[in-house]
């Protein structure tokens, strides 16, 4: 989809896109949250299109069957084998072989409530030596976009504190399914 059409659709629906990817960043993992609905994919895709960016995303290899596989690939889908460490090595290799690559990962791993984010996005960034960019959707403010660039340090717990602090203020379409919603943060501390 071209940028002008995406901007028009977003404006028509009352959404705005914030931030962009710095010109110096050519290979990156976009951490996209919250993710509680299939609409998140649609809104994220429109947002990337409005910014003139093409992002790829990871999807389990089992979803790639005829004729659906054609459309998933056209929209940027990358089939992955979710076996232990296979995704990290596969995507690390893809980054090494690419001069420019944006991969969007939803660390919640599901649209259902998951109190613990999957570590894959972090381990891939560490293995491939690429930064993270905090991508987001905020249904309350009808905004989405790209936040700061973040380089993982190897201290997962401390890095997750920084990452989660950015996302705590974001509102999901279904807040009851978002682990960082105020209601679910209280449950996590119990």
Reported as a single tens digit per residue, the pLDDT across 75-107 is 899 998 877 678 888 899 999 999 999 999 999
- 41-54, pLDDT tens digit by residue? 999 999 999 999 99
Average confidence (pLDDT) over 165-187: 92
pLDDT score for 84: 65
49: left (phi over 0), alpha (psi -120 to 50) or beta: alpha
Q: Is residue 86 within a helix (H) or strand (E), and if so which, with residue range?
A: helix 86-96
Q: Total domain count for the chain?
A: 1
Residue 108 structural domain: 3-189
HSE on the CB side for 111, CA within 13 Å? 8
| Average pLDDT of the residues of the chain | 92
Res 59: pLDDT: 87
Residue 190 confidence (pLDDT) above 60: no
Rounded CA gap, 117 and 120, in Å? Answer: 9
**Rounded mean pLDDT of 9-21?**
96
11: which residues sit within 8 A by CB, 6+ positions away? none
The answer, yes or no, to whether residue 151 has pLDDT greater than 80, is yes
Angle at 141 between CA 188 and CA 173, to 5 degrees: 50
Answer yes or no: is pLDDT of 110 > 80: no
> Would you state the pLDDT for residue 87?
87
Confidence of residue 189 (pLDDT cuts 50, 70, 90): low
- 154, pLDDT greater than 70: yes
Which pLDDT band, with edges at 50, 70 and 90, does 185 fall under? confident
- Tell me what the mean pLDDT of segment 162-189 comes to: 91
Band (188; pLDDT cuts 50, 70, 90) = confident
């Amino acid at each position: 989809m071209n940028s002008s059409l995406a901007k028009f659709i977003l404006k028509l629906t009352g959404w705005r896109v914030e931030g962009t990817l710095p010109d110096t960043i050519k290979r990156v993992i976009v951490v996209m949250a919250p993710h509680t609905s299939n609409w998140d994919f649609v809104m994220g895709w429109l947002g990337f299109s409005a910014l003139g960016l093409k992002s790829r995303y990871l999807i389990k290899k089992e979803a790639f069957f005829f004729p659906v596989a054609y459309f998933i690939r056209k929209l940027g889908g990358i089939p992955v084998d979710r076996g232990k460490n296979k995704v990290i090595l596969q995507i690390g290799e893809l980054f090494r072989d690419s001069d420019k690559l944006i991969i969007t990962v939803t660390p919640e791993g599901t649209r259902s409530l998951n109190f613990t984010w999957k570590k894959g996005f972090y381990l891939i960034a560490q293995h491939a030596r690429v930064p993270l960019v905090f991508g987001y959707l905020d249904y309350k403010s009808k905004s989405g976009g790209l936040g700061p660039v973040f380089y993982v340090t190897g201290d997962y717990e401390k890095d997750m504190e920084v990452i989660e602090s950015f996302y705590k203020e974001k509102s999901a379409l279904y807040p009851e399914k978002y682990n960082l919603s105020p209601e679910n943060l209280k449950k996590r501390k119990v």
